[in-house]
Chain A
Amino acid sequence: MSLQDRSQRAQELRREGKRIIGYFCCYVPLEFLTALDFVPYRIWANMQEPISEANLHFIPTACHYARSCFNNALKGYYDFFDGVVGAKTCDTFDRMFQVWKYVLKPEYSHVVHTPNANHPSSYTFFRSELKTFKKSLERAAGREISDKDLREAIRLHNNNRRLVRQLYEFRKESPPRISGSELAHTVILAMSLPVQESTRMLEEKMGELENRPRPEPVKPRILLWGTPVDDISLIQLIEECGADVVMDDICVGSRHYWPDVAETDDPLDGLVERYMDKLVCPFKFWDVTTTHRQDVEKRYSYLKQYAKEFGADGAIMQVVTYCAIHALDVPDVRDYFHEMGLPVLTLEHDYNVATFSSLRTRVQAFIETLD
Chain B
Amino acid sequence: MKKTTATKSTETARKGARFPKRKYREALEGEKPVAWGMARLGGAHAILKALDVIPLYPENYATVCAAKQMSVPYLDLCAGEGLSRYLCGYFRTDVGYLCKYLKEGREPEDAPWGGMAKPDFFLPNWRWKLCDEGVKFFHTLGRYMDVPSYCLDLPVPPSTHNYEEIKDYYIQYIVDQYKELRGFIEKVTGRKMDMDKFEEAVDNTLETNRLWYECHELRKEVPCPMPAQDAWSCLPPGYFWPADKESVEFYRELYEELKYRVANKIGAVPNERYRLLFTEGAPYHSLWIFDYFYEIGAIIVIEGAYYAPGPPPEIPEGADPFYKLALRYWADYEPWLRKAKGSTETWETDRFLDWARDYKCDGGIMHHCLDCRTVSVLLPHIKNVLLRHAYIPCYFLEDCLVDPRDLPPVERIKSEMQAFLEVMDHHKDIRKKKGLPVAHP
Which of A97-105, A201-209, A351-359 lines the interface with chain B? A97-105
| A102 CB contacts on chain B under 8 angstroms | 344-346, 381, 385
B274, CB-defined interface residue at 8 Å? no
| B377 CB contacts on chain A under 8 angstroms | 58-59, 62, 91-92, 95
Alpha-carbon distance between A136 and B160 when the two chains are bound, in angstroms: 9
- Asked if residues A58 and B142 are in contact (CB atoms below 8 Å), the reply is no
| A121 CB contacts on chain B under 8 angstroms | 173, 176-177, 180
- Asked if residues A328 and B373 are in contact (CB atoms below 8 Å), the reply is no
Alpha-carbon distance between A181 and B64 when the two chains are bound, in angstroms: 49
- Asked if residues B373 and A62 are in contact (CB atoms below 8 Å), the reply is yes
A148-174 vs B, CB cutoff 8 Å, 1 = contact: the mask equals 000000000000000000000000000
B232, CB-defined interface residue at 8 Å? no
B148, CB-defined interface residue at 8 Å? yes
B126, CB-defined interface residue at 8 Å? yes
Alpha-carbon distance between A120 and B153 when the two chains are bound, in angstroms: 12
| A109 CB contacts on chain B under 8 angstroms | 160
- Asked if residues B136 and A328 are in contact (CB atoms below 8 Å), the reply is yes
- Asked if residues B373 and A122 are in contact (CB atoms below 8 Å), the reply is no
Interface residues of B in 120-138 (CB under 8 A from A): 122, 124, 126, 129-133, 135-138
**A56-B384, A331-B83 given as contacts; is B169 within 8 A of A128 (CB)?**
yes
| A292 CB contacts on chain B under 8 angstroms | 142-143, 146
> Looking at the complex, which one of A57, A88, A117 makes contact with B151 (CB distance below 8 Å)?
A117
> Looking at the complex, which one of A61, A124, A331, A332 makes contact with B373 (CB distance below 8 Å)?
A61
- Looking at the assembled complex, report how far the CB atom of B67 sits from the nearest CB atom of chain A, in whole angstroms: 24
A46-76 vs B, CB cutoff 8 Å, 1 = contact: the mask equals 0000000001111101110000000000000
- Asked if residues B87 and A331 are in contact (CB atoms below 8 Å), the reply is no
Alpha-carbon distance between A57 and B377 when the two chains are bound, in angstroms: 8
A84-124 vs B, CB cutoff 8 Å, 1 = contact: the mask equals 00101011101101110110000001110101110111101
Which of A192-200, A245-253, A282-290, A362-370 lines the interface with chain B? A282-290
Taking CB as reference atom, which chain A residue is nearest B152?
A: A117
Number of contact residues on A: which range applies? Answer: 35 or more
> Looking at the complex, which one of A59, A61, A125, A288 makes contact with B173 (CB distance below 8 Å)?
A125
* Count of A-B contacts judged by CB separation below 8 Å: 186
Which of A35-43, A257-265, A304-312, A317-325 lines the interface with chain B? A317-325
B365-381 vs A, CB cutoff 8 Å, 1 = contact: the mask equals 00010100110111111
> Looking at the complex, which one of B132, B138, B368 makes contact with A59 (CB distance below 8 Å)?
B368
- Looking at the assembled complex, report how far the CB atom of B87 sits from the nearest CB atom of chain A, in whole angstroms: 6
B146-179 vs A, CB cutoff 8 Å, 1 = contact: the mask equals 1111111101111111000110011011001100
- Looking at the assembled complex, report how far the CB atom of A110 sits from the nearest CB atom of chain B, in whole angstroms: 5
Alpha-carbon distance between A289 and B83 when the two chains are bound, in angstroms: 24
> Looking at the complex, which one of A63, A86, A120, A285 makes contact with B136 (CB distance below 8 Å)?
A285
Alpha-carbon distance between A62 and B380 when the two chains are bound, in angstroms: 11
B81, CB-defined interface residue at 8 Å? yes
Taking CB as reference atom, which chain B residue is nearest A282?
A: B136
- Looking at the assembled complex, report how far the CB atom of B104 sits from the nearest CB atom of chain A, in whole angstroms: 21
A236, CB-defined interface residue at 8 Å? no
A146, CB-defined interface residue at 8 Å? no
- Asked if residues B159 and A101 are in contact (CB atoms below 8 Å), the reply is yes
A12, CB-defined interface residue at 8 Å? no
- Asked if residues A111 and B158 are in contact (CB atoms below 8 Å), the reply is yes
Alpha-carbon distance between A321 and B319 when the two chains are bound, in angstroms: 47
**A111-B160, A136-B160, A324-B88 given as contacts; is B381 within 8 A of A331 (CB)?**
no
- Asked if residues B381 and A327 are in contact (CB atoms below 8 Å), the reply is no
Taking CB as reference atom, which chain B residue is nearest A99?
A: B381
B415, CB-defined interface residue at 8 Å? no
A55, A128, A285, A290 — most chain B CB neighbours (10 Å): A285
A144, CB-defined interface residue at 8 Å? no
> Looking at the complex, which one of B83, B129, B149, B157 makes contact with A91 (CB distance below 8 Å)?
B129
A291, CB-defined interface residue at 8 Å? yes
**A62-B377, A285-B124, A324-B136 given as contacts; is B148 within 8 A of A290 (CB)?**
yes
Alpha-carbon distance between A110 and B157 when the two chains are bound, in angstroms: 11
- Asked if residues B133 and A328 are in contact (CB atoms below 8 Å), the reply is yes
- Asked if residues B378 and A99 are in contact (CB atoms below 8 Å), the reply is yes
- Asked if residues A116 and B151 are in contact (CB atoms below 8 Å), the reply is yes
| B368 CB contacts on chain A under 8 angstroms | 59
**A56-B380, A292-B142 given as contacts; is B132 within 8 A of A116 (CB)?**
yes
- Asked if residues A113 and B157 are in contact (CB atoms below 8 Å), the reply is yes
| A288 CB contacts on chain B under 8 angstroms | 122, 139, 142, 147-149
Task: Pick 25 A–B contacts, CB within 8 A, sort by A.
Answer: A56-B384, A57-B384, A58-B377, A59-B368, A59-B376, A59-B380, A90-B132, A91-B129, A91-B133, A102-B346, A113-B157, A115-B153, A115-B155, A120-B176, A132-B161, A285-B136, A292-B146, A295-B139, A295-B142, A324-B132, A324-B136, A328-B140, A331-B82, A331-B83, A346-B82
Which A residues contact B (CB, under 8 angstroms)? 55-59, 61-63, 86, 88, 90-92, 94-95, 97-99, 101-102, 109-111, 113, 115-117, 119-122, 124-125, 128-129, 132, 135-136, 282-283, 285, 287-293, 295, 319, 321-322, 324-325, 327-332, 334, 346, 348
5 nearest A-B pairs in the assembled complex, by CB-CB distance: A121-B176, A292-B142, A111-B158, A117-B153, A324-B133
13 other A-B residue contacts (CB within 8 Å) besides A56-B384, A125-B173: A58-B377, A58-B380, A98-B345, A102-B344, A102-B385, A113-B156, A132-B161, A285-B124, A285-B139, A288-B139, A295-B142, A328-B137, A332-B140
